[in-house]
Amino acid sequence: MDTLTPKEIVRELDKYIIGQAEAKKAVAIALRNRSRRKQLPSELRDEVAPKNIIMIGPTGVGKTEIARRLARLAQAPFMKVEATKFTEVGYVGRDVESMIRDLTQLSANMVRQEKMKEVEPKAQEMAEERILDLLLPPLRPEKEKTEPPEAISEGDSQLQRTRQKLRGQLRANKLEKRIVELNIRETFLPMIEVFSNAGLEEMGINFQDILGGMTPQKSKKRRLTVGEARRILIQEEAEKLIDMDKVISEAIKRTEDSGIIFLDELDKISGSSPGSGPDVSRQGVQRDLLPLIEGSTVTTKFGTVRTDHILFIAAGAFHASKPSDLIPELQGRFPIRVELHSLSKADFQRILTEPENALIKQYRALLKTEGLNIEFTRDAIAEISSLSSRVNEGLENIGARRLHTVLEKLLEEISFNAPDLKKKNILIDRKYVKKKLENIIGNEDLSRYIL
């Protein structure tokens, strides 16, 4: 990832998101600055703070998708949160530090999966030996005491030959359906409800670990196929091979240096008038967010996490308010502001066909599973785009999400009857689109409730 230039990052984002060049350029620079920072001398590295971004634009134009694809591209811990789920102390809601704890947990899961993959070949070997032990138990110790050495040697040699034969069959997947008995560990944790205003993690308490140590681990004998037993045993052996201390250490480092938090609906907590009422709570949330975004230390169950270099990307429509309504200190922590534009009819046409996850490609693949071959003509795609644009102009503008509702309604009858249709090749043209949708879109009351 560190080798990607800003232009290459934008090209990767172009595969999934149509338009919004300004926003893509801003996030590409922010991502590239991270790799630049890693190459700085240690004394200067800590001084370089990330340039947080505010994306301003209506819903459905690609704000969340840009941040999500960016995180996937960077293979970085990514967390999407709505600003409205947080409230200041004294009001009902989650404390803002919980987003850092969630991000650290996600990072730990990512690192753990990577380490598990690294040790998987060794874990497979160990799991294979355990399965062979289940299929062909070794000589019992009490038998070794009573039998003469010559008989033990002959029995052991025969056992090894049989074991090697079974190993060959096992590797050729010839024993997948054979039933074996396996002891599976079970951990019982009693249900406890805790009523607390602040998260218990703030106090460094992890009840799962405490109760896990107090309650004895039980094992239950189950009858499984060799294929099922192999999956369980590989998981068990991989967990034994990885060093959890290293996993936690790397997870914290990755959170601090590469973490990305997408803070959606920022406009919903921007209060413009001082005094009492909901604006007090909104400004309280802003003041709670400020230390995290400026840089502070948060206690998690994995240890302390510094937020100085976590990249925050905020987004909001800002219809009823504007970024200048945020408290000045918070405004200062988001130096980069980009505006995302509403989508046009031409944008809709491109969204339907160009991206790697284009909607037309998705619907064709879904119906292909029923044996149907769906083809859309160019004029059909143009008509779908035109109708979607009209509905967005006449009703609430929900951006590209309107295409989902329009296409779902257009293909509703085909999707419902797909398993029973005798005709397997279906052509969707402009005439078909107008027939299915024109009445709904022409009637404002109908389109309001259906689309």
168 and 197 fall within a common domain: yes
Would you say residue 162 lies in a domain?
A: yes
Decide which of 339, 365, 383 is a domain's last residue: 339
Would you say residue 294 lies in a domain?
A: yes
Flag whether pLDDT at 90 surpasses 70. no
Flag whether pLDDT at 315 surpasses 50. yes
Would you say residue 17 lies in a domain?
A: yes
Non-local (6+) Cβ contacts of 360 within 8 A are: 352, 353, 376, 381
237 and 142 fall within a common domain: yes
236 and 127 fall within a common domain: yes
Would you say residue 249 lies in a domain?
A: no
| Burial of residue 269, with CB atoms counted within 10 A of its CB: 0-12 exposed, 13-18 middle, 19 or more buried | buried
Cα–Cα distance list, 296 to 10, 213, 289 (Å): 31, 32, 10
Structure tokens at 79: 């967390």
Which CATH number is 365's domain given? Answer: 1.10.8.60
Summarised one tens digit per residue, pLDDT across range 163-176 is 888 888 888 888 88
Cα 367 to chain centroid distance, Å, stands at 26
Summarised one tens digit per residue, pLDDT across range 428-439 is 999 989 888 877
235 and 270 fall within a common domain: no
360 and 326 fall within a common domain: no
Query: Residue 352: which of 390, 406, 395 has the closest Cα?
Result: 406
Summarised one tens digit per residue, pLDDT across range 114-140 is 999 999 899 988 888 888 888 877 765
Confidence class for position 150, pLDDT limits 50, 70, 90: low
> Which residue segment(s) compose the domain that 388 sits in?
345-450
pLDDT value of position 7: 92
Of all residues in the chain, the percent with pLDDT exceeding 90 is 21
Decide which of 312, 339, 366 is a domain's last residue: 339
What is the distance between the alpha carbons of residues 50 and 337, in angstroms, rounded to a whole number? 14
- How many domains are contained in the chain? 3
Query: Residue 79: which of 387, 329, 292 has the closest Cα?
Result: 292
108 and 124 fall within a common domain: no
pLDDT value of position 323: 83
Would you say residue 251 lies in a domain?
A: no
236 and 206 fall within a common domain: yes
What is the distance between the alpha carbons of residues 431 and 433, in angstroms, rounded to a whole number? 5
Least trusted range by pLDDT, from 198-212, 262-276, 291-305, 378-392: 198-212
What is the pairing mode between strands 303-306 and 297-300? antiparallel
10 and 81 fall within a common domain: yes
pLDDT value of position 177: 84
pLDDT value of position 83: 84
Q: Average pLDDT, whole number, for the chain?
A: 82
φ/ψ of residue 422, rounded to 5: -80, -35
What is the distance between the alpha carbons of residues 111 and 248, in angstroms, rounded to a whole number? 8
Query: Residue 302: which of 96, 16, 110 has the closest Cα?
Result: 110
pLDDT value of position 216: 59
What is the pairing mode between strands 218-225 and 336-339? unpaired
- ∠ CA 279-194-97, nearest 5°, is 45
pLDDT value of position 140: 59
287 and 193 fall within a common domain: no
Flag whether pLDDT at 104 surpasses 90. yes
pLDDT value of position 331: 87
Structure tokens at 383: 């008509």
126 and 201 fall within a common domain: yes
Query: Residue 305: which of 250, 255, 235 has the closest Cα?
Result: 255
pLDDT value of position 279: 53
Give the range with max mean pLDDT: 147-151, 250-254, 264-268.
250-254
pLDDT value of position 364: 92
Is the pTM here over 0.95, yes or no? no
pLDDT value of position 202: 47
305 vs 149, higher pLDDT: 305
Q: Residues 444, 446, 448, 451: is their CA dihedral positive or negative?
A: negative
Summarised one tens digit per residue, pLDDT across range 24-59 is 999 999 888 888 888 888 888 888 888 899 999 888
Q: Report the 10 Å Cβ neighbour count for 200.
A: 12
107 and 135 fall within a common domain: no
Of all residues in the chain, the percent with pLDDT exceeding 70 is 82
Cα–Cα distance list, 398 to 320, 346, 401, 402, 407 (Å): 16, 16, 6, 6, 15
Summarised one tens digit per residue, pLDDT across range 173-229 is 888 888 888 887 765 545 555 444 444 544 445 555 555 555 556 777 888 888 888
Q: DSSP 3-state assignment of 11? A: helix
Q: What is the DSSP string of 295-364?
A: --EEEETTEEEE-TT-EEEEEE--SSS-GGGS-HHHHHT--EEEEPPPP-HHHHHHHHHSSTT-HHHHHH
Flag whether pLDDT at 97 surpasses 90. no
Flag whether pLDDT at 250 surpasses 90. yes
pLDDT value of position 84: 80
- Rounded to the nearest 5 percent, the helix, strand and coil shares of the chain are 55, 15, 30
What is the pairing mode between strands 78-82 and 260-264? parallel
Would you say residue 246 lies in a domain?
A: no
